[in-house]
Every structure is written in structure tokens, then in C-alpha cells.
Amino acid sequence: MAKVPAPRNKPVVEWITLWLALGCYVAWALSVFVVPLLWLPLAMVLAVLTITLQSSICHELLHGHPFRARWANAALAFPALSLCIPYGRFRDSHIAHHNDPKLTDPYDDPESNYMDPAVWARLPGWLRVVLRFNNTLAGRLTVGPMVGEVFWLKGDLAAIKRGDRVVINAWLWHLPAMVLVIWLVLQSPMPLWAYLVSVYAALAVLKIRTFLEHRAHERYPERTVIVQRQGLLSFLFLNNNLHAVHHAHPKVAWYDLPALYAGDVQGYEGRNGGYLYRSYGEVFRRHLFRAKDPVPHPLWPQDRP
């Protein structure tokens, strides 16, 4: 298994990521201000691509790229193109998610898609039907963004009622970032409804990545996936299709992950127990209408309170 590379002298600015972020914002501006004058459906497609890409760029920012200073990375993430997810909440929950021994834990992994079986048993029947459908790829692409946002908001509202200052501050930072984007769209030739549809579609595209990033397994190194083939989705996800490589080297920039994987393919695939797919096409073929996992965690201790 490849070891984490020795830290290099990190530049003050990692220019590849910075130029990518700036290019993403330029492309987004074109999608709302220029392309709608030519053809609205094309503008919506471009908006979906740029919103998806910005979410992946935010993932890089929270891991310390392209700037050394955390505040500078947060400033670069300020425009809330997806409207829904505060950057500060994404940052804090994702860093907590990188506690690999807790991966898939329904309580300690903020990004787990599993549920405590005892909680699952108490849910109303209609909600269990929705969540079972949500555990197919077709479900993630259709109801998935709404389900994810409802559960996210439910947790954050509870934290706000408890007076959690970290959550409150994240939302106070997010609200002007969201208002700015909505105001810009209202000044543009793109109708607001078209932008909202594009946001939902972008969140659905992101669900393709998160759908199978992790699985329940007794050994935590075998919980994280590798999707081998590079293509448009791997670019939009900034190589997080090589998710096991990212979890092994969370401080490594997105553009270095493919070389790390290529340098020790057998090592990474051995470490993650062969949890891999050749491409996202294979993911669609295998899981479009067939759930990858049950909703209740299949290995969860039944006697845990």
C-alpha cells in the first residue's frame, strides 16, 4: 500500500485550483447572463455543470486548497451557487466525516446514508417507502436532493434551537451568499424557475458520486469506493471517483490523485477489499433500479442506545 507522500513545500497559492475556480465562476456567469439569450436549455445545462463543479471545488477548499489561509478558501467559496448548503456546514461536517473508523456510523459520520435500525423501525410506512426508493440510483437522481435537504435542514434547525453558535454562524454567512446569487439571477435573462431547476439537477448529479462512496463493512479501509474510469463525471467530481485514494491522502490536491492511484493500483484495490466499479456506466447498469444497500445499517449493534 502506498504511503502518504512526504509533504512538499506548499506554495502560497495552488494555481491549478485557483484558475479552475475562477474559470468556473466565469462559466457560471455566462450560463445566466449570456447563453440564455441564445438558447435557454443550453444555458441550464451549463448552469448544472458549473454548480456541480463549484461544489467539488468547495470540497477542495475545505481541505486547504488553493490557499494556505482558511479564511481565503472560505472567501473563494462565498457565492452559494447551489443555494442550499452553507459552506461552513459542509466544511465542518465533511472534516468530521474523515474520521475513517467512524465511516457509515449513523450518528458519528455526518455523511452516512445509513440509519439506526431502531430508528428505522419507528418510521411511518410511507417514509420507509421513500427512503428505500432513495437507496436506488433512480431515487437519488429524483427525490434524493429533496430528501437530503429535508434531513439536513431538520438537523440544523434543531442545532439552531439549541443555540449552537457554529451552526448559526455558518447560516449567517450563507444567507448573504445565497441572496447574492438569487439577486444576480434576477438581473439576468435566465428565469429564476430555470435556475432553480438547474440547481436541483446539479444536486442530483452530485448524488451520483455520493450514492456509493461508502458501504457498511467491518473493516473501515474496505468501506470506501474506487470508480476507475476517468471522464466528464470524474472531472466534475474532481477525481473523487477515486474516493479510497482521497481518504488515504485527504490533504492531497485533486489533480494528484490519479497519479497516486496509478502508482499503486493493486495496493489501493487490495486495501479497500476490491470495492470498485469500472465506470459510472457500470454504476447505472447495476443500481439504477436496484438498491446497493438497505437503509438500516446492516452491521449496527442492536443493543446500542
Mean pLDDT of the chain: 94
Place of cell 445566466: 32
Which pLDDT band holds residue 9 (cuts at 50, 70, 90)?
Answer: low
Cα–Cα distance measured from residue 200 to residue 166, given in angstroms and rounded to the nearest whole number: 27
Please report the pLDDT score of residue 7 as a whole number: 44
The mean pLDDT value for 154-160 works out to 95
The mean pLDDT value for 12-23 works out to 96
Please report the pLDDT score of residue 1 as a whole number: 44
User: Taking the alpha carbons of 15, 98, 47, 34 in that order, is the dihedral positive or negative?
Assistant: negative
Contact (Cβ atoms closer than 8 angstroms) between residue 294 and residue 113: no
Collapsed DSSP state (helix, strand, coil) of residue 299: coil
Name the DSSP class of 207.
H
Pure H helices in the chain: 15-33, 40-62, 70-76, 87-97, 117-122, 125-134, 137-142, 144-161, 165-187, 192-210, 232-236, 243-248, 257-263, 265-271, 280-287
The mean pLDDT value for 282-301 works out to 94
The mean pLDDT value for 167-184 works out to 97
Contact (Cβ atoms closer than 8 angstroms) between residue 171 and residue 160: yes
User: For residue 10, which amino acid is it?
Assistant: K
Cα–Cα distance measured from residue 133 to residue 128, given in angstroms and rounded to the nearest whole number: 9
CB-based burial label for 273 (10 Å; 0-12, 13-18, 19+): middle
The mean pLDDT value for 213-222 works out to 94
Please report the pLDDT score of residue 174 as a whole number: 97
- Cell, residue 105: 456510523
Place of cell 497559492: 13
Q: What is the pLDDT of residues 55-64, one digit of tens each?
A: 999 999 999 9
Q: What is the pLDDT of residues 33-79, one digit of tens each?
A: 999 999 999 999 999 999 999 999 999 999 999 999 999 999 999 99
Residue 162 CB coordination number (10 Å): 9
Contact (Cβ atoms closer than 8 angstroms) between residue 240 and residue 205: no
Name the DSSP class of 279.
-
Cα–Cα distance measured from residue 171 to residue 85, given in angstroms and rounded to the nearest whole number: 9
Q: Which of 279, 277, 264, 285 lies closest to 231, judged by CA?
A: 279
Please report the pLDDT score of residue 303 as a whole number: 41
Q: Is cis: bond before 145, omega within 30 of 0?
A: no
In this predicted structure, the answer to whether residue 180 has a pLDDT above a threshold of 80 is yes
Cα–Cα distance measured from residue 160 to residue 155, given in angstroms and rounded to the nearest whole number: 9
Cα–Cα distance measured from residue 64 to residue 278, given in angstroms and rounded to the nearest whole number: 29
Which pLDDT band holds residue 301 (cuts at 50, 70, 90)?
Answer: confident
In this predicted structure, the answer to whether residue 8 has a pLDDT above a threshold of 60 is no
